[in-house]
Structure 1
Amino acid sequence: MSLSRIERLQVWVMSAIMAVLYVLFWLLSPRPRAGAPSKVPPITNPLLKLSATQLAQKIRRRELSSVEVVQAYIDRIQEVNPLLNAMVKDRFSAALQEAAQVDILIEEETAGGEEALAERLPLLGVPLSVKESFALQGMPHTSGLPSKAGVLASVDAPNVANLKRAGAIPLGVTNTPELCMWSESHNRLYGLTRNPYSLDRTPGGSSGGEGSLLGGGGSVIGVGSDIGGSIRMPCFFNGIFGHKNTPYIVSNGGQLPPCSGLQEDYLSTGPMCRYAEDLLPMLKIMAGPNAHKLSLSEPVDLKKLRFFSVPHDGGSPYTSPVDKQLIQAQRQVVEHLEADLGVRVQELRLPELKYGHPIWELFMGLPDKDGKPPQPFSELMAEGGSTVWPPWELVKWMLGRSSHTMASIGLALSEMAHFGKPSQFLLQQKEALERRLEELLGTDGVLLYPPHPHLAPKHHHPLFTPFNFAYTGIFNILGLPITQCPLGLSQEGLPLGVQVVAGKLQDRLTLATALYLEKAFGGWRDPGDP
């Protein structure tokens, strides 16, 4: 069995639409200034090269003040954000006041000392950045939708509240694509966000502002969300760590847009950071009362795990071939695991992965248990504004009159080009892949898989390759936990990386593997270094 003619036609129509839009965008987009910097400057303050775990410990021990740390990050943001456009609204004054209160609290702490503070407030005094689609009290909460300009969050999203209760100090909110449904962080409200390793390239989406700021050294820990790769792609493109957890462990509340249909089943809110040791404590804090379901304190012996490697999706008509440097980097991981741990890494082919994109699209469009379908994207675009008719919106965009991005218009047009009902073939492929991975991974299996076919693409290039996110998106539908890990830099100076996948509720396996890979391959690299 295979895809029907209608489904193949749909692929062709979608590709044609995106190709036309890309050409139009390229022709109408401004060109970069001659002599402009190509990447962010190097980090000079050594405080910015400490993990959140290390910073919290030094603050508790009074080796550093919280004010000193917060000011260091404010200085770095002011240095790099004019280049990156990653943080779209800051709260620097409030953050410094909160840091001063932290320092007073530590000076006055008498009951239990450092250990008591570590238990009660594990991130006390540590700076934090937050994706703008999450509610952060007093900050914009628009997901880049111009009709929501001026809307401020009145409360904190649950996971943000958990991090603040643990002592973290938010510095501001970071950019997203319009309504978070694209792989590049660009909207008509805040503009385009850039990659710190190469300013002419995308930081990804939808947590692209987070990825850019973290990768550029403007933050140490951040909050992201992932329904098709929105944590993992930005972490890959910006050379940092990120974790898409098992669904329903961390609350997805307080996000814009809200889920509809069955989308809650595929959405994960999780940590993004520069240092692997911060992933587990952040996940534990963000999960709150659900953290025990992951047994995060249970030790992991990597030598006792079973490792598997899948180098590509088998040649899908939807996706690009995987960059040879990514395949080589994954091969080096395999060789290192085998040589250092004495394990055998089995290379596999999973033919069902070829249908990753149509499977993702099918399940994202399914109705909820009451039969209510997900809200159409064109309706989300119109929220708080005028009705959106995609063909007319495209005409307006070509005339410079639309308040929406090319990517959003393209997605709305693709909804209109949806032909008929999907075949049972895709359901069968998903079920077969789900069964196979469940049997393969069990409670002690780890799988390596590329995060994307390309290294960080040039700006707007994702419009020409709209289905490449299938490398991440398929695992949202499968509900598996994944940690995205950096693996050094390419010949062009762009981040390399790999997805580390485990069975449901086995998040600790991928987090332990991330710690190991950081030591073996160096983890995050300062993008400003020569």
Structure 2
Amino acid sequence: MALSRVERLQVWLFKALTGLLFALFRFFSPRGSAALSGKRLPPVGHPLLLESATQLARKIRRKEVSSVEVVQAYIDRIQEVNPFLNAVIKDRFAAALQEAAQVDKLIEEETGGEDILEDRLPFLGVPLSVKESFSLQGMPFATGLVSRRGVVATVDAPPVALLKRAGAIPMGVTNTSELCRWMESHNHLHGVTNNPYDLERIPGGSSGGEGSILGAAGAVIGVGSDIGGSIRMPCFFNGIFGHKTTPGVVSHDNQHPQFSGRQEEYVSTGPMCRYAEDLLPMLRIMAGPKASMLSLDAEVDLKKLRFFTIPHDGGSPFTSPVSRELIDAQRKVAERLEADLGVEVREVRLPELRYGFPIWDTYITLRDNDGKPPRPFAELMGDSGPPAWPLWELLKWLVGRSEHTMAAIGLALMERTHHSKPAPFIIQQKEKLQREVEELLGTDGVFLYPSHPRVAPRHHHPLFRPFDFVYTGIISILGLPVTQCPLGLGEEGLPLGVQVVAGRLQDHLSLAVALYLEKTFGGWREPGGKP
């Protein structure tokens, strides 16, 4: 299936524009911090930092360790690594210690026993990090926008409130890309966040601050959101677990920016963590009353699942080829599944995946049922004031006067290339892909798919390959749950990983596979540790 002349022209225009923007960026932007070049994070010193949230909560309930001890260990670690990472942009350490002391007092006075506490407060006394685009009472709520400097959240976003109600203690908020619309967590309000495995590389976006601090063992559980890969890319680049929930299960209220058009059909809020066993209990809490939509209590026999592997998107002109290292890692997963479980992992090819970016770009800009389009990105950049004028912002950026990043300016410029009506051919490809995937998965199938064409890129390099996110983005448009799983460290000491995709509302299947992959491939590895 060849691209039409119009589509080939669109590809050329996109690539020409991004190439120009990248060249301008390389010429005019300052170099990275020489002080961090070649530096590595300090090793993890405190043993409590190497426990899952589930294990920490159990030890706290049993008085084997106090919540104050756990919270203090994480405060010390954040203070140790954050100067290297710039992941946590505002802490609440004093309040967290007070809340931890209250937890310890509650446990001392509890007469109902450990089981009562576990049922009512499953994460009692456990530290929690929160993406800054979620409203966390008393914390900044700017999403990297300079004009929102000083905006403070007055309420808690629903999933944050539910985790707090379950006993978790927020430690602070973490950095994002500007307005959560880019795969690198960089903005002119809080600066650039670094990858804990290589400080000269990106942690991903938009939940990059979460991914960075979790990967560095400065947090154990966190909250992220995902409409194009904003949970999965940071989890992949930082070697941790994350779950993009079936859309509509976890509330995305009280996030900034708000979603519009039909974007609410594709956005998901979900857990991010270092240990796979924390994913399901976090999701159960974050979903609240809608947890009943998922079969989270069902036992999963992996030997009875049907497994598939899709090695790449078929050679899209928009995306980079998947690296041999990642193809080999995914092949090893398939081989271990067959050897350990006695299942067949069938390789399939879905030709429509070649159109992943046009599909994502088309559907993310569709009008809602009332005919209202999504709010233009230039308007979001202007916040409550007039919309940004991207060409003017580009000129200002060239002389160091713009408040916006090159990525945001580029997105606003590209937005102007959108057609007023979606192309029928792209709609057809998406509908065909949707049918094929649903028939493939059913209620007992999962497939493996690359998380990204390459391991964590160097800072600002995504400006030159802006469409590589579509390996995660297309799964969002299909409305499927997917668990991002680490697979150890690769040739350069950077995390490897794979997406495990299940059918709609079958989140428990990919979560069960995540537990197996953690046991088989070792899960999260400490930065600077052995591959």
Normalising by structure 1, report the TM-score.
0.98
Q: Distance in 2 between matches of 1:35 and 1:469?
A: 27
Alpha-carbon deviation of 1:384? Answer: 3.3
1:416, distance to aligned residue in structure 2 (A): 1.4
Which residue pairs with 2:76 in the alignment? Answer: 75
Q: What amino acid does structure 2 have at the position aligned with 1:155?
A: V
**Counterpart in 1 of 2:61?**
60
Distance across 2 between alignment mates of 1:158 and 1:353: 34
Q: What do residues 79-131 of structure 1 show as CA deviations (whole Å, max 9, x unaligned)?
A: 100110000000000000000000000000002x1000000000000000000
Alignment of 1:39-438 (within 5 A): 39-111=40-112, 113-419=113-419, 421-438=421-438
One-letter code aligned to 1:104 = K
* Structure 1 residue 386: Cα displacement: 4.9
Q: What is the CA deviation profile of residues 321-376 of structure 1, one whole-angstrom value per residue up to 9, with x for unaligned ones?
A: 00111000000000000001000000011111010110000001100000000000
Q: How far apart, CA to CA, are the structure 2 residues paired with 1:421 and 1:121? A: 50
Moved more, 418-427 or 431-440: 418-427
Q: 383-392 or 429-438, which moves further after superposition?
A: 383-392
* One-letter identity of the residue aligned with 1:56: A
The amino acid of 2:87's aligned partner reads A
8 Å contact 1:10–1:418 — kept in the other structure? no
Q: Give the aligned partner of residue 22 of structure 1.
A: 22
> What is the CA-CA distance between 1:385 and the residue it aligns to?
4.2
- What's the Cα RMSD here? 1.1
1:16 deviates by: 1.2
For the 8 Å contact 1:202–1:457, the answer to whether it is kept is yes
User: 5+ residue gaps in structure 2?
Assistant: none
Letter aligned with residue 364 of structure 1: I
The Cα offsets for residues 256-309 of structure 1, whole Å up to 9 and x where unpaired, read as 000100000000000000000000000000001011111101100000000000
Shift of 1:37: 4.2
The residue aligned with 2:459 is: 459
Give the AA of the match of 2:509.
Answer: L
User: Structure 1 474/107 Cα, relative in aligned 2: closer, same or farther at 3 Å?
Assistant: same
Partner letter of residue 58 of structure 1?
K
Structure 1 residues 34 and 52: alpha-carbon distance in aligned structure 2, compared to 1, 3 A threshold: closer
Q: Say if 2:484 is the partner of 1:484.
A: yes
Instruction: Specify the code of the residue in structure 2 equivalent to 1:98.
Output: E
Contact 1:126-1:167 at 8 Å conserved across structures: yes
SS of the residue corresponding to residue 125 of structure 2 reads coil
Letter in 2 for 1:426: I
Alpha-carbon displacement from aligned partner over 1:467-501 (angstroms, at most 9, x marks no partner)? 10110000111100000000001110000000000
Q: In the aligned structure 2, how far is the partner of 1:5 from the partner of 1:193?
A: 40
Instruction: Give the 3-state SS of the residue equivalent to 2:488 in structure 1.
Output: strand
Corresponding letter in the other structure for 1:176? T
Q: Is the 8 A contact 2:380 2:387 kept in 1?
A: no
For 2:191, the aligned partner's letter is G
Q: Give SS of 2:477's match.
A: helix
Kept in 2, the 8 Å contact 1:312–1:322? The answer is: yes
Q: Is this contact kept in 2: 1:481–1:501, CA < 8 A?
A: yes
Q: Distance in 1 between matches of 2:415 and 2:155?
A: 33
Per mean C-alpha deviation after superposition, the further-off stretch among 505-514 and 17-26 is 17-26
Letter of the structure 1 residue corresponding to residue 463 of structure 2: L
**Structure 1, unaligned stretches of length 5 or more?**
none
Range moving further from structure 2, 17-26 or 372-381:
17-26
Instruction: Give the match for residue 520 of structure 2.
Output: 520
Q: CA deviation at 1:11?
A: 1.7
Residue 234 of structure 2 aligns to a residue whose secondary structure is helix
User: For the Cα contact (< 8 Å) 1:6–1:419, is it kept in 2?
Assistant: no
| C-alpha contact 1:241 1:484 (8 A) present in aligned 2 | yes
In 1: Cα distance, 2:104 partner to 2:17 partner: 56
The residue type equivalent to 1:282 in the other structure is: M
Partner Cα separation in structure 1 for residue 93 and residue 419 of structure 2: 49
- Between the aligned partners of 1:401 and 1:384, the Cα distance in structure 2 is 20
In structure 2, what is the Cα distance between the partners aligned to 1:141 and 1:193? Answer: 17
CA displacement 1:10-37 (0-9 Å, x = unmatched) = 2211111111111221222333316744
The answer as to whether partners of 2:185 and 2:209 remain within 8 angstroms in 1 is yes
Q: Which amino acid aligns with 1:369?
A: N
Describe the superposition over 1:38-86 as per-residue Cα deviations: whole angstroms up to 9, x where unpaired.
3322101110000000000000000010000000000000010011000
Shift, 1:417, TM fit: 2.4
Would you say the 8 A contact 2:379–2:386 is kept in 1?
no
Tell me if the contact between 1:446 and 1:500 (Cα under 8 Å) persists in the aligned partners: yes
Could you tell me how far apart the structure 1 residues matched to 2:528 and 2:61 are? 30
3-state SS in 2 of match to 1:349:
coil
Whole-Å Cα distance in 2 between the matches of residues 28 and 299 of structure 1? 56
Tell me if 1:439 matches 2:439: yes
Cα distance, 1:6 vs structure 2: 2.2
Give the letter for the 2:319 counterpart.
Answer: T
SS at match of 1:229: coil
Distance 2:193 2:35 in 1: 19
1:143–1:180 CA contact under 8 A, matched in 2 = yes
The 2-side partners of 1:512 and 1:245 are apart by 14
> In the aligned structure 2, how far is the partner of 1:327 from the partner of 1:38?
30
- Alpha-carbon distance between aligned partners in 2 of 1:61 and 1:382, rounded to the nearest angstrom: 51
1:189-225 alpha-carbon deviations (Å, 9 max, x no partner): 0000000000000000000000000001100000000
- Partners of 1:95 and 1:422 lie apart in 2 by 49
**Residue 6 (structure 2) aligns with:** 6
Identity percentage of aligned residues: 71
2 CA distance for matches of 1:453 and 1:146? 32
**What amino acid sits opposite 1:441 in the alignment?**
L
Conservation of the 8 A alpha-carbon contact between 2:303 and 2:341: yes
CA positional deviation for 1:419: 4.3
Pairs aligned (count)? 529
